[in-house]
Amino acid sequence: MHELSVAQEIAHLVLNAASQKKAKSVLKIELEIGELSFLSLEQVEFWLKTCLENTIASKAKVILSSVR
């Protein structure tokens, strides 16, 4: 469940940044996640999309990549 707390924090940061810029929508979210974080990219994506439901970022394309 570590992925859930990480996704919640990412959603919080995305929505705060969008609010500060007075954005009407978020189109894309790109993230690089380090291999040593031991996070499942699929789980992070699932929870992030779940956390963003019913927000201005609900239709954002989520692009995750793993880096060393």
pLDDT in tens, 16-61: 999 999 999 999 999 999 999 999 999 999 999 999 999 999 999 9
pTM (predicted TM-score) = 0.91
pLDDT of the residue at 20: 97
pLDDT of the residue at 38: 92
Which alpha helices (H) appear in the chain, and where do they start and end? 2-20, 41-51
Compute the average pLDDT of residues 10-19. 98
- The owner of tokens 């990412």 is 10
Alpha-carbon span 25 to 10, nearest angstrom: 16
